[in-house]
């Protein structure tokens, strides 16, 4: 039985804690958060103890530390945990700076622990399916791949998502999902050019990024924290032999409507696409399997850092206004 | 008396749309056709019940009383045909792109001015109800300041001379940049000052021209925009392509998808699935406006200068792609 400690009891900490509670080979034993009430509330929900001190995370009874703090703290907790011999599941983006990422990789390698970054889109089946189709040559050589990931401006506890210095804005925090998928699917990027509106944070952030891959493929990546509606994604991937397209707003298998029954209560329509196992659950199950068997996680630390590098390059291009950033 | 229009060349498939639009308009008449491909010209003249002339001079002979002409030849021949119309003192509606280089475009604009004829450029997307409503919303400030626009004008490769750079001046980028850039210029009332692009021959490696292009633009007021000008729709795509824009403003967002209105149509006979469109006929509205300007002398709403500024972005994009560096506009 793996003993799992959750570090950061916010949105993603809650999601992972609930998953690990439900995985037979794992058990959530500790929850840590700088906001003690947050830790207590989550601990209560999943039947764990509240870690009263940070150092509890690295005690003998813990096997796995799940790092779900805001991004700038990922490195600190990952390194500490690895040095204490703990396996680490760290939320994406892996880190806020490349230096942090290098240090994280060094620490987990030196410790020989299992380390994975939560690029959960690899378990979203539409993205996995599209990649499989591309790899099988079903649409020939890809010429132009377009992706969009669109949301309202998130907040996070204390509003940290709205601080560009902390979250990196939409490009590092959210578009990184597409960067990871594109790198996974098309291989290394050669150069990147990006324009956007991060100067308008904290009201909104929006960026349009063009990537040229060494394979020759061109990607156009839209990241939006400027929307007013529900979270949505889409892609449109054109090749010499065909076209792949997916639009999350058109793939709801179930829609529930509520008629405005009482005075002052609005009717709502909630579309959804329920699945027996959520992508987050599949991700966490995979991680548990890797820890138990010693097998390499599907997402290597190097790949996670490559995605950060691409995101930071796009941000650099954007900030410099008109700079084409070459990738090493 | 009906307004007497003519068509110079049926090389561009839009010539058929325009001839159809003229036929449908009550006070406009297709008074003659000239084409440097005589057979094509004769076929068209027969189809639309008008006369074929074997030279522009004969077409514009005084007794024909041609008041305006539509130029739908291959892109590199626009200049030749526009100058012939100027010479004859006939107003012109020229297919986009205005030409394939800045020098030719400037000559065309100057000659029209000298001859006292109007030179209008065919940007029919302006004549859709959706764009009109979007423009009003933007001008009323409903979206606040527009800070970013994501545009697409993707299509199937039209083939024929469109694939021949010596006739078209390029491939998909010169073909598909100008419509959406024109719409963006109108919405923002600003010019593009910088363009970057990734351009390639991606979908049919045997082509002598580009068929994939992603452009990134900076407008003078700070708005940024991208445009997908690729022939990336496969041959069995259910419609020729699209024109879309998503606008991000400080107060709100908007998206337009100008040609999305369709009835899904499956034909079991040939196994096809197609979008049968039912939306606005933008070409008809464009022709009606041109005919109106010819008849009344009102200034055309889309000028040669508009055509030049839109084309410049495509030309700048080619330069940027060659050097992998953003290119400043206007071009020298
Ligand atoms: N994979 C995904 O789909 C996805 C979605 C959202 C967020 N994320 C990532 O997950 C991470 C957490 O995001 P979130 O949405 O849960 O944010 P959140 O603000 O909801 O939660 C962060 C929690 O960390 C706590 N915290 C802050 N500093 C701490 C510290 N030094 N030590 C311990 N706890 C600390 C906060 O009090 C808060 O409870 C981020 O890196 C984010 O990018 C991933």
Tally of structural domains, chain A: 2
Q: Strands, DSSP E only, in A214-326? A: 218-225, 232-239, 242-247, 254-258, 268-272, 325-326
Q: What local confidence, expressed as pLDDT, does residue A258 receive?
A: 78
**Pair (B145, B27) in one structural domain:** no
Q: Which of A6, A9, A10, A127 best tests ligand 1's pocket when mutated (most atoms within 8 Å of CB)?
A: A10
A257: pLDDT strictly greater than 90:
no
**Pair (B320, B193) in one structural domain:** yes
Structure tokens at A280: 């987050």
**Pair (A62, A165) in one structural domain:** no
**Pair (A148, A45) in one structural domain:** no
Q: Is residue B285 part of a domain?
A: no
Structure tokens at B91: 């107003």
A248: pLDDT strictly greater than 80:
yes
Other C-beta atoms within 10 Å of A226: how many?
Answer: 26
Q: What local confidence, expressed as pLDDT, does residue B332 receive?
A: 84
Between CA B272 and CA A252 the distance in angstroms is 26
CA dihedral B138, B140, B144, B145 (to 10 degrees): 60
The pTM of the full predicted model, rounded to 2 decimals, is: 0.94
Mean pLDDT of chain B: 97
Are residues B66 and B44 in contact, defined by beta-carbon separation less than 8 angstroms? no
Q: Percentage of residues in chain B with pLDDT exceeding 90?
A: 98
Structural domain range at position A64: 2-113
Cα separation values, A56 from A18, A51, A81, Å? 20, 6, 11
pLDDT digits (tens, 9 = 90+) for B62-106: 999 999 999 999 999 999 999 999 999 999 999 999 999 999 999
| Confidence tier at A160 by pLDDT (50, 70, 90) | very high
Which of B214, B218, B248 lies nearest to residue A218, judging by beta carbons?
A: B214
Q: Compute φ and ψ for B222, nearest 5 degrees.
A: 110, -10
Q: What local confidence, expressed as pLDDT, does residue A174 receive?
A: 98
A residues 183..212 contacting B (CB < 8 A): 191, 193, 195-197, 200, 203-204, 206, 208, 210, 212
**Pocket lining: A42 vs ligand 1, CB cutoff 6 Å:** no
Among residues A113, A142, A158, the one where a domain terminates is A113
Query: With contacts defined as CB-CB under 8 Å, which chain B residues touch A322?
Result: 194, 196, 218, 326
**Pocket lining: A120 vs ligand 1, CB cutoff 6 Å:** yes
Residue range B161-183: average pLDDT?
A: 98
A52: pLDDT strictly greater than 70:
yes
Q: Is residue A291 part of a domain?
A: no
Residue range B192-204: average pLDDT?
A: 98
Q: Which of A157, A161, A223, A286 best tests ligand 1's pocket when mutated (most atoms within 8 Å of CB)?
A: A157
pLDDT digits (tens, 9 = 90+) for B300-329: 999 999 999 999 999 999 999 999 999 999
Which residues, in sequence order, are CB contacts of B296 under 8 Å at separation 6+?
Answer: none
Between CA A96 and CA A98 the distance in angstroms is 7
Report chain B's terminal Cα–Cα distance, integer Å.
Answer: 45
pLDDT digits (tens, 9 = 90+) for B217-234: 999 999 999 999 999 999
B128 touches chain A (CB under 8 A): no
| Confidence tier at A84 by pLDDT (50, 70, 90) | very high
**Pocket lining: A168 vs ligand 1, CB cutoff 6 Å:** no
Q: What local confidence, expressed as pLDDT, does residue A265 receive?
A: 59
DSSP 3-state percent helix, strand, coil across chain B (nearest 5): 40, 25, 35
A266: pLDDT strictly greater than 70:
no
Are residues B285 and B24 in contact, defined by beta-carbon separation less than 8 angstroms? no
Among residues B122, B149, B170, the one where a domain terminates is B122
Which of A146, A206, A218 lies nearest to residue B198, judging by beta carbons?
A: A218
**Pocket lining: A91 vs ligand 1, CB cutoff 6 Å:** yes
**Pocket lining: A73 vs ligand 1, CB cutoff 6 Å:** yes
Among residues B99, B122, B145, the one where a domain terminates is B122
How long, in residues, is chain A? 328
Which H or E run contains A198? none
Structural domain range at position B318: 126-280+311-328
Q: How far does residue A164's CA lie from ligand 1's centre (Å)?
A: 15
Query: B200: closest CA among B237, B236, B228?
Result: B228
Are residues B196 and A194 in contact, defined by beta-carbon separation less than 8 angstroms? no
Q: How far does residue A207's CA lie from ligand 1's centre (Å)?
A: 22
């Amino acid at each position: 039985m793996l003993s799992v400690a959750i570090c950061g009891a916010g949105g993603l900490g809650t999601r992972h804690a609930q998953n690990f509670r439900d995985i037979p080979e794992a058990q959530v034993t500790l929850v840590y958060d700088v906001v003690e009430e947050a830790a207590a509330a989550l601990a209560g929900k999943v039947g764990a103890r509240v870690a009263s001190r940070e150092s509890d995370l690295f005690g003998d009874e813990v096997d796995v530390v799940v790092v779900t703090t805001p991004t700038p703290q990922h490195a600190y907790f990952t390194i500490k945990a690895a040095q204490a011999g703990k396996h680490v599941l760290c939320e994406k983006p892996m880190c806020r700076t490349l230096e942090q990422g290098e240090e994280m990789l060094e620490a987990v390698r030196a410790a020989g622990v299992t380390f994975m970054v939560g690029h959960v889109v690899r378990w979203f089946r539409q993205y996995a399916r599209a990649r499989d189709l591309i790899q099988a040559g079903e649409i020939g050589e890809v010429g132009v791949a377009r992706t969009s990931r669109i949301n309202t401006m998130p907040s996070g506890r204390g509003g940290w998502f709205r601080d560009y210095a902390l979250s990196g804005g939409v490009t590092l925090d959210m578009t990184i999902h597409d960067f990871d998928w594109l790198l996974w699917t098309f291989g290394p990027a050669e150069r990147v050019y990006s324009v956007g509106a991060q100067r308008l944070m904290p009201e909104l952030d929006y960026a349009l990024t063009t990537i040229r891959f060494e394979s020759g493929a061109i990607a156009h990546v839209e990241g939006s924290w400027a929307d007013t509606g529900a979270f949505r994604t889409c892609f449109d991937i054109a090749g010499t032999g065909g076209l792949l397209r997916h639009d999350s707003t058109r793939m709801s298998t179930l829609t529930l409507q509520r008629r405005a029954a009482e005075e002052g209560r609005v009717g709502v329509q909630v579309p959804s696409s329920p699945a027996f196992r959520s992508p987050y659950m599949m991700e966490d199950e995979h991680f548990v399997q890797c820890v138990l068997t010693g097998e390499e996680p599907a997402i290597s630390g190097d790949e996670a850092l490559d995605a950060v590098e691409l995101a930071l390059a796009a941000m650099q291009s954007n900030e410099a206004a008109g700079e084409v950033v070459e990738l090493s | 008396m009906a307004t007497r229009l003519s068509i110079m060349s049926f090389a561009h498939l839009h010539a058929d749309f325009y001839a159809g639009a003229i036929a449908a308009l009550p006070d406009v008449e297709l008074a003659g056709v000239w084409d440097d491909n005589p057979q094509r010209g004769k076929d068209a003249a027969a189809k639309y019940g008008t006369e074929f002339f074997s030279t522009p001079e004969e077409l514009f002979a005084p007794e024909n009383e041609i008041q305006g002409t539509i130029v739908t030849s291959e892109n590199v021949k626009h200049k030749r045909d526009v100058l012939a119309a100027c010479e004859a003192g006939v107003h012109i509606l020229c297919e986009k792109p205005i030409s394939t280089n800045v020098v030719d475009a400037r000559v065309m604009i100057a000659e029209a001015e000298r001859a006292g004829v109007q030179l209008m450029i065919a940007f029919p997307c302006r004549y859709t109800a959706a764009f009109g409503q979007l423009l009003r919303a933007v001008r009323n400030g409903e979206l606040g300041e527009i800070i970013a626009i994501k545009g697409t004008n993707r299509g199937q490769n039209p083939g024929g001379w469109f694939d021949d750079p010596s006739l078209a001046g390029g491939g998909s980028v010169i073909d598909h940049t100008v419509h959406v850039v024109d719409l963006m210029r109108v919405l923002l009332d600003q010019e593009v000052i910088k363009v970057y692009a990734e351009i390639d021959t991606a979908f049919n490696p045997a082509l002598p021209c580009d068929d994939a292009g992603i452009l990134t633009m900076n407008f003078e007021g700070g708005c940024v925009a991208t445009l997908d000008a690729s022939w990336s729709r496969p041959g069995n795509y259910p419609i020729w392509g699209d024109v879309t824009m998503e606008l991000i403003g400080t107060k709100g967002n908007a998206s337009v998808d100008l040609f999305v209105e369709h009835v899904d149509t499956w034909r079991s006979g040939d196994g096809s699935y197609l979008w049968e469109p039912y939306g606005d006929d933008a070409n008809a509205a464009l022709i009606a406006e041109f005919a109106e300007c010819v008849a009344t002398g009102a200034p055309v709403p889309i000028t040669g200068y508009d055509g030049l500024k839109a084309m410049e972005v495509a030309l700048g994009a080619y330069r940027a792609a060659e050097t992998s560096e953003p290119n400043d506009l206007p071009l020298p």
